[in-house]
Amino acid sequence: MSFLHTSFTRRRALTVAATAVTVALAAAGCGDGGSAPTLPGKSGGEKVAQSVFDAAPVASDAEIPAGSTMDMIRKRGYLNVGGSLDAPLLSQQNPVTGEIEGFDADMAKLLAKYIIGKPEVKTVTIGTQTREAMLQAKSVDAVFQTYTITPQRATQVAFAGPYLTSGLAVAVRKDETGIKGVQDLAGKTVIVGANTPAVTALPTAAPGSKQVAFATDPQAVQALLQKRGDAYVQDFTLLASGAKANPGMKVVGEPFTTEAYGIGLNREDAQFKEFVNNWLKKIQADGTWAKVWESTLGSVVEGGTPTPPAIGSVEGS
């Protein structure tokens, strides 16, 4: 079960059935910058409890051979991650504490804990168009940034996972009534993220549409709100987090593709990829993955916790 087909809700106001056409995430911004809407029976967007990190597994010395990437990271004392600071529910810097919170950010902390023994992460902000170059140059150890696994990208980088699934969807301004899904985008000006799957999916899904590309998700959201395009096509999770933070936009229709996220790694380091995949299997099996999901993305999703995707189940992983 993937969460991409699960409905989102607005705090105390909006309940969306699984078959709903329009998904609105216009929740008011919260003071800590990382809170999420409250659902019945849920604590509501609290950051992952320290107890989850305390109980998370740590690799044995035998699992970290001398001279390996893992050994280098352990000696350095922190995991160097390429990611974002402005993606609610995924990887967002708390303006009060300075901590980076969300599903991707917390997964990175758990990998750091597994290697080093403590969740020490240094996050380097990167755009979608520079991820491959950063990994190839070993400027970062890993990329946690809703990084869709594709065969083409797998010729340049390695992917551990997948560790989450989602899909491309459509966002429009809140007052838009004529666009109810990808089927309505033919002939429209559509905002996309540079070097994202939307670039190649749109010509088939919305023939005749014109694309306007932006380097980062916040830039694309602003362009939509400024009416520089009719719609924004991006991964469902990014659109959901954007709509949560921006009451002027909403997500419409169902996701029209299925995307699998992987952890980006240097392609020449097969040993590190195997190590990260083994770690993913451990945190899926012991319930750690589920606890992180429930405290982040799961805080705005109705229904049960999804089953994590099988490691290596996607072409390119």
Average pLDDT, whole number, for the chain? 85
140/271 same-domain check: yes
CATH number, domain of 66, equals 3.40.190.10
User: Which of 132, 76, 108 has its CA nearest to residue 276?
Assistant: 108
Reported as a single tens digit per residue, the pLDDT across 292-313 is 999 988 776 545 788 899 999 9
Least confident of 163-172, 227-236, 247-256, 276-285: 247-256
| CA 91/CA 218 separation, integer angstroms | 13
141/265 same-domain check: yes
Percent of all residues in the chain with a pLDDT value above 90, rounded to a whole number: 69
User: Which of 161-170, 270-279, 303-312 is the most confident on average?
Assistant: 270-279
Least confident of 137-151, 154-168, 214-228, 245-259: 245-259
- Total domains in the fold of the chain: 2
120/215 same-domain check: no
pLDDT at 34 over 80: no
CA distances from 190 to 182, 228, 255, 280 (A): 10, 9, 16, 36
Q: What is the structure's pLDDT at 301?
A: 57
Q: What is the structure's pLDDT at 254?
A: 75
User: Which of 303, 201, 298 has its CA nearest to residue 259?
Assistant: 201
CB 30 within 8 A of CB 45: yes
187/211 same-domain check: yes
pLDDT at 1 over 60: no
Q: What is the structure's pLDDT at 203?
A: 96
Give the residue numbers spanning the domain of 208.
Answer: 16-28+168-252
Mean pLDDT of 44-62: 86
Q: What is the structure's pLDDT at 43?
A: 32
Six token digits for residue 15: 């309940």
Q: Residue 218 domain-assigned?
A: yes
